Amino acid sequence: MGISSHQACPSSHQALPQHPLHSPSFKPYTRAVGRRRLKLIFGPSLVKEPVIYQLGRKFEIVTNIRRADVTRDQGWVLLEVTGEPEELDRGVEYLESRGVKVEPAEGDLVE
C-alpha cells in the first residue's frame, strides 16, 4: 500500500530543475545601502539596557561598535550603522524615542 521506491525517488539520470538564483537571466535586486557613524550618549537609566542589540533586531541594520566608554552612571558609543537609508532613519528615531542622545560621529574612530 505504500509508495514504491521507484515512485519516491527520481531516477539518478533525471536532471534537477535549475534554481532561479542560478539562472543566467537572474538579476539581483540592488538596494541603496547607506553607512553612518553615530555617537550615542546614554544616561544612567539606559546604561544597562541592550539598546544596540535591540536596534539590530528591530531594524535591518548592521551595527559595528567602533569605540565606547561606559560607566555605571553614563556612557557613550561610537557606532557605525549600515542599511537602507530609510531603515537607518527609523533606527535613529527608535534610539531617540528610547532616550538615547544621537549625534553625528566625528573623528576618533579606530580604523
Give the helix ranges, DSSP H, for 1-111: 5-8, 51-58, 85-97
Q: What is the pTM of this model?
A: 0.68
DSSP 94: H
- What are the per-10-residue average pLDDT scores of the chain (111 residues)? 52 58 55 89 94 96 95 94 96 97 76 51
Question: What cell numbers appear for 88 in the block?
Answer: 537607518
Q: What's the Cα-to-Cα distance from 77 to each of 31, 39, 43, 46, 81, rounded to whole Å? A: 28, 6, 12, 12, 12
CATH of domain 31-104: 3.30.70.260
